[in-house]
Amino acid sequence: LKSPHCQLKVLRLSSCNLSDRNCEALSSVLSSQSSSLRDLDLSNNNLQDSGVKLLSAGLKSPHCQLKVLRLVYNCINI
Q: Is the pLDDT of residue 70 over 80?
A: yes
The reported pLDDT for the residue numbered 45 is 95
Cα dihedral 14, 18, 20, 24 sign: negative
Q: Where are the domains of the chain?
A: 10-70
Which pLDDT does position 4 carry in this prediction?
86
6-64: pLDDT as tens digits: 999 999 999 999 988 999 999 999 999 999 999 999 999 989 999 999 999 999 999 99
Residue 9 burial (CB count, 10 A): 11
- pTM here is 0.92
C-alpha to C-alpha distance for 49 and 53, rounded to whole angstroms:
6
